[in-house]
Amino acid sequence: KKTTDTLGHQKKVNYALRPDMTKDEFIKELLTGLTAPPGYFPQNVLMNIKGYESLDTIKERGKRPLSPAAFEVAANETNALMLDTRKPEDFAKGHIPNSISIGLDGNFAQWVGEMIPDVKQEILLITYPDKEEEAITRLSRVGYDHAIGFLDGGFVAWQKEKKQVERIKRITASQFEKAYFGEGPLAFDIRKKSEFDSEHVIGAINIPLNELNQHLSQFPKDKPFVLYCEGGYRSMIAASILMQRGWEDFVDVSDGFDEIKKTKVEKSDYICPTTML
């Protein structure tokens, strides 16, 4: 719980500063439990070496308001990714087909870096009004400098034009409980391995969100399934990507494992996690 200390005391108590450690032991102590770095890390290293555009230039390019018609043309005529930064619950109620959800209110930069492999990917933004600049700035902080415009007026403007909309079905933990003791649907746990190993729904399959793209074949297209994470943020990212790739017959638990724990759904015995994997 302490936030400051002396080097002398740390040498006595810190596991990584033991005086009798070999170099190999030190490396093992420090790296055990760490995941592989996201793909954008080495790309950021190259950007730091070669240089990059000024933030003003990046903002000017990204803060280009596009009417729903112009936004649709840009989406169809470029290879841009449509990134919806609204809250998961709003994305679920209605979103532009083929857009993906990574909400600004969560670990936005981390999941952009994990789920969008190329920092040079062109991006079209769907945000709440007046949140465009924040989204562009936070994208740029992790090297994603190629936002090329945003939907002027946000998703509301898209709806007013009566353009095509998709929805993702969400259920509560109590509804999941009824299904679990009824038809017993296949469940996918989108949390980290350490979270899953600590405690999970009996029978659930663990596919951490950052490994989703490598395990798409495990999600069936011929039978329904359920997604859950801790609180609904990560599972909505997963849901949006699956829908973009053609999956339809699934639901997302809106309040996640936080609420599932309070139900009678069978869960594994709790084990205190020892790593952050």
- For the chain, give me the number of helices (H) and strands (E)? 13, 10
Residue 111 is encoded by which pair of tokens? 């999941």
On whether both 175 and 117 belong to a single domain, the answer is no
On whether both 74 and 129 belong to a single domain, the answer is yes
On whether both 142 and 49 belong to a single domain, the answer is yes
- With a cut of 80, say whether residue 250 has pLDDT above it: yes
Q: Is residue 5 situated within a structural domain? A: no
Q: Would the pTM count as exceeding 0.95?
A: no
Contact 120, 61 (CB under 8 A): no
If pLDDT is split at 50, 70 and 90, which confidence band does 15 have? confident
Residue 130 is encoded by which pair of tokens? 């007046």
The CA distance from 189 to 109, in Å, is 22
Contact 256, 231 (CB under 8 A): yes
Q: Into how many domains does the chain fold?
A: 2
Instruction: Put residue 136 in one of left, alpha, beta given phi > 0 → left and psi -120 to 50 → alpha.
Output: alpha
On whether both 130 and 177 belong to a single domain, the answer is no
Q: Is residue 122 situated within a structural domain? A: yes
On whether both 66 and 103 belong to a single domain, the answer is yes
Cα 72 to Cα 12, 77, 83, 211: the distances in Å are 62, 9, 13, 30
Residue 207 is encoded by which pair of tokens? 């596919």
Place of tokens 């205190």: 272
Q: Is residue 165 situated within a structural domain? A: no
On whether both 184 and 226 belong to a single domain, the answer is yes
Q: Is residue 27 situated within a structural domain? A: no
Q: Is residue 269 situated within a structural domain? A: no
Place of tokens 């350490």: 194
CATH no. for residue 103? 3.40.250.10
Instruction: List pLDDT tens digits, range 85-137.
Output: 999 999 999 999 999 999 999 999 999 999 998 999 999 999 999 999 999 99
Q: Kindly state the helix (H) or strand (E) to which residue 171 belongs, with its residue range.
A: strand 170-171
On whether both 148 and 183 belong to a single domain, the answer is no
Helix 132-141 vs helix 55-62: crossing angle, to nearest 10: 130
**Domain limits at 93?**
40-160
Look at strands 100-101 and 81-84 and give their pairing: parallel
Nearest to 195 by CA among 110, 274, 249: 274
If pLDDT is split at 50, 70 and 90, which confidence band does 172 have? very high
